[in-house]
Amino acid sequence: MPDTTLLVPTPDGPADAFAAFPEGGGPHPGVLMYSDAFGIRPALRAMARELAGHGYVVLVPNVFHRQGPTPVVELPDFIGEDDRPGLVARLMPFIEAHTPERTLADAGAFLSFLSARPEVAPGPVAVSGYCFGGLLAVRTAAAHPGTVAALASFHGPVHADGLDVLSGLRAEIHFGHAAGDLTPQALAGVNAALDAAGIAYTSEIYPGTVHGFTLPDTDAFDAGASGHHWDRLLALLGSALPAG
């Protein structure tokens, strides 16, 4: 798939980003993809290219651009059990500083930039996110109901800002929760909030999974669950923003 690196103007300076495009034709529906806290790296670029191959223009911004270009901490090729605590400790100040206000300042800029690209079809776009990026995707969709037609979050803390935020969503939704992240009781609360929103959604725990199960460069990766995530994501996008 064609791809490139870009600089996205934001209120706090330019954010570096990765973009992947379908082969030929167009324009195509747009997808704003938020990475996990480890940031843009070969595995995320490959996932963006995979999605672009199904007919979507995919923009992956560096959400920690205020701290520098991605990756903001040096990463090993494979993130294993011994690597994770140290990496998370180094990233935690950036995560904690990324307030809802900071998220939304960036979100408007990211959505405007994506929608203005000549390769992107007019009209609504989709937002997806992984881990911490799943929370950013929820915040973005809640703040831009007229722009975001589809929202997907995978092993993300989607209820971290409260269930009232979920009950105000207007996009079509898929939430894929890790079994290690969410109890069945907590899932019932999330789904009740989505019921209250009166929107089309699927929200489920992927059996036997741990946090990060979609990410192939980590020890959390689960090939079967990753395949299910692609099925769910493509079905959601096909319903809300059909490509081609």
pLDDT at 244: 65
Written as six digits, the tokens of 14 are 């330019």
Alpha helix positions (H), 53-183:
84-97, 100-116, 132-143, 163-167
Task: Read off φ and ψ for residue 75, nearest 5 degrees.
Answer: -115, 145
The tally of CA atoms less than 13 A away on the side-chain side of residue 105 is 16
Helix (H) or strand (E) holding 58: strand 57-61
β-pair partners for 172: 150
Give the pLDDT score at 26: 85
1 pLDDT more than 80:
no
How many helices (H) and strands (E) the chain has is answered by 7, 8
Instruction: Give the pLDDT mean for 157-163.
Output: 97
How do residues 133-150 score in pLDDT, each as one tens digit?
999 999 999 999 999 999
- Tell which phi-psi region holds residue 115, choosing left (phi > 0), alpha (psi between -120 and 50) or beta: alpha
- pLDDT tier at 132, thresholds 50, 70, 90: very high
Can you tell me the distance from the alpha carbon of 171 to that of 127, in angstroms, rounded to the nearest whole number? 10
Pick the closest to residue 139 from 120, 155, 162 (CA basis): 162
User: Residue 183 corresponds to which tokens in the numbers above?
Assistant: 């109890």
Distances (CA, A) of 43 to 74, 98, 192, 216: 15, 23, 34, 7
Q: What is the pTM of this model?
A: 0.98
Question: At residue 216, does pLDDT exceed 70?
Answer: yes
Are 57 and 22 in contact by the 8 Å Cβ rule? The answer is yes
pLDDT at residue number 243? 82
- Number of domains within the chain: 1
pLDDT tens sequence across 27-59: 999 999 999 999 999 999 999 999 999 999 999
Residue 105 pLDDT class (50, 70, 90 cuts)? very high
Mean pLDDT, the chain, integer: 97
Q: Which residue has the higher pLDDT, 87 or 71?
A: 87
What is the rounded average pLDDT of the residues 187-193?
Answer: 98
The answer to whether 16 touches 69, Cβ cutoff 8 Å, is yes
Say which DSSP state 117 is in. Answer: S
- Per the structure, the complete domain to which residue 186 belongs is given by 3-240
Instruction: Name the percent of the chain lying above pLDDT 90.
Output: 97
Question: In this structure, what CATH number is given to the domain that contains residue 38?
Answer: 3.40.50.1820
What pLDDT digit, counting tens, does each position of 174-186 carry? 999 999 999 999 9
Please report the sign of the dihedral spanned by the C-alpha atoms of residue 99, residue 105, residue 108, residue 114. Answer: negative
120: its two tokens: 């992107």
CA distance 23 to 55: 8
Stretch 216-231: mean pLDDT, rounded? 98
